[in-house]
Amino acid sequence: MNKNIHAFTFHYKMMDSKGILIKETRDKPLKIIEGKRQIFKPLESSLLNLNPGEIKRITVKCKEAFGEYNSNLLMQVPESEFQQRPKIGDLFNIESENGKLIKMRVADEKNGIYILDGNHQLAGVDLLFEIKLIERRTATPIEIKSEK
C-alpha cells in the first residue's frame, strides 16, 4: 500500500554554481514526504539512494530549479506610477493582461525608470546542493494524505 512512499529527514546546503552559500538547514533539518513536490526532483531522487548519515553533492540545473531567466518578465515603470518612491528589492503584485497577479521585484532604477523583474531571484542559476540524510522511513497514512 504505502510501503513505497518514504518520509525523509535531512540537512542541506544550497549554493550557487560558484559555491557561494545561499541557504542551509542548521539546527532544524528539513522533513519531506516522497512525491509531494516539496523539493526539486533531482534532490528527492538522490535521497532515495542515500543511507542515513551519508552526504552527497548534487547539481540541479536551473531548468529543474527556479527556471531559466526570462527577459519577457521585465517591465519598465516610471517613478510617477508609484505612490511612494520604491527601493531596490521592494516587491509588488502586478496584475497581468489576463488578470493574474505576478510578484515583481524592483531590480534596478535608471533616470526615474524602475525595472521590475518577475523572475525568481535564482532563475537562470544552476544550484549545487550538499545533502546529508538523517532518516528515511515509510511514510504514515496521515503524512501521505496531508496537503504538504
Other C-beta atoms within 10 Å of 94: how many?
Answer: 13
Q: From CA 28, how far away is CA 40, in angstroms rounded?
A: 19
* pTM to 2 decimal places: 0.81
The architecture (CATH level 2) of 71-117 comes to Beta Barrel (2.40)
What's the fold here for domain 6-66+123-145?
Answer: Chitinase A; domain 3 (3.10.50)
Where exactly are the structural domains of the chain?
Answer: 6-66+123-145, 71-117
Q: Is 71 left (phi over 0), alpha (psi -120 to 50) or beta?
A: alpha
Please tell me the chain's helix, strand, coil percentages from 3-state DSSP, rounded to the nearest 5.
Answer: 15, 40, 45
pLDDT (tens place) for every residue of the chain, 148 residues total: 445 899 999 999 999 999 999 999 989 999 999 999 999 999 999 999 999 999 999 999 999 999 999 999 999 999 999 999 999 999 999 888 888 898 999 999 999 999 999 999 999 999 999 999 999 999 999 998 886 6
